[in-house]
Amino acid sequence: MTSSSQVIVVGTGVVGSVIAEHCLDAGLEVLMIEAGPRVSRAQIVENYRNLPLGAKPDATASYPPADWAPHPFHGLEHLESTGPNKYDPTYIRYAGGSTWHWAGTSWRLTPEDMQLRSRYGVGRDWAFDYETIDPYYNMTERKLGICGPADPADQWPVRTRSMPYPMPHLPLSQGERKFTEVMRDKLGLRNVPVAQARNSGMPYDDRPACCANNNCVPVCPVGAKYDAATSLNRLEAKGATILENSVVYRVETGEGNRIVAVHYYDRDKTSHRVTGEHFVIACNGVETPRLMLMSADDRNPNGLANSSDQVGRNMMDHPQQGYTFTTVEPYWLGAGPVVNSGIMETSQGDFRADHAAVYFRLNNFARNRDIAKRAMSSGKVGRALDEEIRRLTATSLNVVAAFEMLPDPNNRLTLSAQKDWLGLPRPSVYWDVGDYVRRSSAEYSNPLAQRIAEAVGATDFKPASPEKFSTSKHIMGGTIMGNDPATSVVDRHSRTHDHANLYLPGGGAMASTACGNSTITMTAMAFMAAEALVSEAKGA
Ligand SMILES: Cc1cc2nc3c(=O)[nH]c(=O)nc-3n(C[C@H](O)[C@H](O)[C@H](O)COP(=O)(O)OP(=O)(O)OC[C@H]3O[C@@H](n4cnc5c(N)ncnc54)[C@H](O)[C@@H]3O)c2cc1C
């Protein structure tokens, strides 16, 4: 059993994998410790096929958790949610992490998204500007294989790219093309092709091109979508050691408050200690702050990296509201990836001083399952039922509004009194989306959604309740980044202010959410952390 390594990376999700590979490429010795099991794509596809119909829309249902590595799962409350809104991220504790079931949507931040405090007087500014992160976005797009539009008129953000996408964007489905035209002609809004971590038209990274299964969530059956599990064999070929089914439960400090070791339980509940020189905790925005709090010791009685009392605070996501309506004319959605286009320009403007920005996406999920249920409940049978299913499949649209959210210290992850299978405290999160978001829903996004629905000829639009939000499962904020150690947990390299050799990269470090899906930004920050770690290891 490995008992020491130069670099220890905890977590084999996209963030941990990218850092591990960067370190391996620089000639460092890397040990990766992963809580969950290592599974094959065929097994997940088989799990999905065997699900009862009612469970298929549940993104985690194909990923039953291991006893020792519980994650949020239908019928198993790993995470306690308190507060006025429900906090329900559905991450996966398997080797490869949550990109197994992500959609792959990859919007960059805009320069404005990173300067909310100085531009609009709300939230926090980032510790660096857009020009600083731009090269790391380029690296991310190449590493994950992100396809996107070549034409600047179709790109988001506007006029900021320093390199083209490595692959052209995927074609829009018939319904998406029509929606794009209607938005442009009737509302003057740009519905642009999504940048997404999915191979378009050609193999990339030893993975095939997307063949439009429309099953990206919960699993791409052919591996055309990037997920971190696809990189693990390559990391081993480059020399990484990967320990699966190994749950890190304590990070140990030594002289000078440097990290000296991590402790993990194997699947038999036997404890092991592994020493190292450089430590990366990449367990995601819930499990990383949880581990920091669980690791409290005499030097750090409030938990590791927590002299600022900010560990677990400022938890953020993209609260969202959905609108499902029927049109008169047929649209026919459902060919291609499940998310393939979006309206991002509604996410920018001086109104952000007052209320949250919003991004609208027309989901391209094939809707036949919901629709068949709806048609059958109308009492129709035989040919009439068949015709009703066809009509609704062609005319049923689902548009989602995803909001930005401000960092609020009261939105806080703490350790629950409830224990998991290993006897470790479960995470508990107080969750309130806040008035900034509620105002946006009432005054900005609901009226905009109504205009969108009217433009496409919806016959049954209903506004969303400005009180009810679901989460987008984009976990951010709990180990927030900043230049000031008194008010933040990590610095611009995702290195903790309190422990010189401890990095906490990922969504937890993000200082603002903007509206677009955030994994591309987490990965860009992972590259920044990896560069800093390598220079530290090489004594540069
Ligand atoms: C349904 C769904 C759709 C999504 N779609 C998108 C999208 O389209 N675009 C987008 O940008 N984002 C999307 N996301 C979010 C995206 O999946 C995450 O942002 C991303 O996977 C986070 O990567 P990570 O490496 O930080 O964490 P994870 O992928 O969660 O990986 C963390 C790893 O750490 C391991 N781990 C955890 N605790 C321990 C421990 N104590 N010891 C050892 N190992 C541990 C886990 O097992 C896991 O392997 C989606 C999420 C969901 C749920």
Closest ligand 1 atom to Cα of 264: 42
CA distance 516 to 109: 7
Cα-to-chain-centroid distance, residue 355: 23
Q: Quick: pLDDT tens for 93-134.
A: 999 999 999 999 999 999 999 999 999 999 999 999 999 999
CA distance 225 to 338: 11
Per-residue pLDDT of the chain (540 residues; tens, 9 = 90+): 679 999 999 999 999 999 999 999 999 999 999 999 999 999 999 999 999 988 888 899 999 999 999 999 876 789 999 999 999 999 999 999 999 999 999 999 999 999 999 999 999 999 999 999 999 999 999 999 999 999 999 999 998 899 999 999 999 999 999 999 999 999 999 999 999 999 998 999 999 999 999 999 999 999 999 999 999 999 999 999 999 999 999 999 999 999 999 999 999 999 999 999 999 999 999 999 999 999 999 999 999 999 999 999 999 999 999 999 999 999 999 999 999 999 999 999 999 999 999 999 999 998 888 899 889 998 999 999 999 999 999 999 999 999 999 999 999 999 999 999 999 999 999 999 999 999 999 999 999 999 999 999 999 999 999 899 999 999 999 999 999 999 999 999 999 999 999 999 999 999 999 999 999 999 999 999 999 999 999 996
- Phi, psi angle pair for 117, to nearest 5°: -70, -50
CA distance 110 to 404: 13
Q: Is 251 in the pocket of ligand 1 (CB under 6 A)?
A: no
Q: Is 97 in the pocket of ligand 1 (CB under 6 A)?
A: yes
The protein residue with its alpha carbon nearest to ligand 1, atom 13, reads: 102
- Among the listed residues 423, 420, 406, 428, the one whose alpha carbon sits nearest the alpha carbon of residue 293: 428
CA distance 318 to 341: 17
The protein residue with its alpha carbon nearest to ligand 1, atom 4, reads: 102
In the numeric block, which tokens belong to residue 127? 């510790």
Strands 358-362 and 396-403: antiparallel
- Residue 405 CA to ligand 1 center (angstroms) comes to 19
Q: Quick: pLDDT tens for 318-327.
A: 999 999 999 9
Pocket test for ligand 1, best of 68, 98, 265, 522 (most atoms within 8 A of CB): 98
In the numeric block, which tokens belong to residue 471? 């989460």
In the numeric block, which tokens belong to residue 47? 């799990």
Contact 259, 279 (CB under 8 A): yes
- Among the listed residues 113, 143, 24, the one whose alpha carbon sits nearest the alpha carbon of residue 524: 143
Q: Is 80 in the pocket of ligand 1 (CB under 6 A)?
A: no
Q: What is the CATH number of domain 1-125+226-319+405-433+473-540?
A: 3.50.50.60
Q: Quick: pLDDT tens for 340-376.
A: 999 999 999 999 999 999 999 999 998 888 899 889 9
Hey, where are the domains in the chain? Answer: 1-125+226-319+405-433+473-540, 147-196+323-403+434-468
Q: Is 295 in the pocket of ligand 1 (CB under 6 A)?
A: no
Closest ligand 1 atom to Cα of 89: 53
- Residue 389 CA to ligand 1 center (angstroms) comes to 36
Q: Is 34 in the pocket of ligand 1 (CB under 6 A)?
A: yes
- Residue 10 CA to ligand 1 center (angstroms) comes to 13
Contact 127, 69 (CB under 8 A): no
CA distance 377 to 438: 34
Closest ligand 1 atom to Cα of 288: 38
Closest ligand 1 atom to Cα of 90: 53
- Residue 330 CA to ligand 1 center (angstroms) comes to 36
What's the CA angle centered on 419, arms 478 and 278, to 5 degrees? 45
The protein residue with its alpha carbon nearest to ligand 1, atom 35, reads: 11
- The H or E element that residue 38 is part of is none
pTM beyond cutoff 0.95:
yes
- Residue 452 CA to ligand 1 center (angstroms) comes to 32
Name the amino acid, one letter, at 254. Answer: G
CA distance 398 to 416: 36
- Residue 44 CA to ligand 1 center (angstroms) comes to 16
Q: Is 98 in the pocket of ligand 1 (CB under 6 A)?
A: yes
- Residue 516 CA to ligand 1 center (angstroms) comes to 16
- Residue 510 CA to ligand 1 center (angstroms) comes to 15
The protein residue with its alpha carbon nearest to ligand 1, atom 6, reads: 102
Q: Is 474 in the pocket of ligand 1 (CB under 6 A)?
A: yes
- Known catalytic membership, residue 474: yes
Closest ligand 1 atom to Cα of 285: 26
The protein residue with its alpha carbon nearest to ligand 1, atom 33, reads: 11
Name the amino acid, one letter, at 423. Answer: G
Task: Please identify which of the residues 78, 278, 318, 474 carries the catalytic annotation.
Answer: 474
380-399: burial string, b at 16+ Cβ within 10 Å, e else? eeeeeeeebbeebbbbbbbb
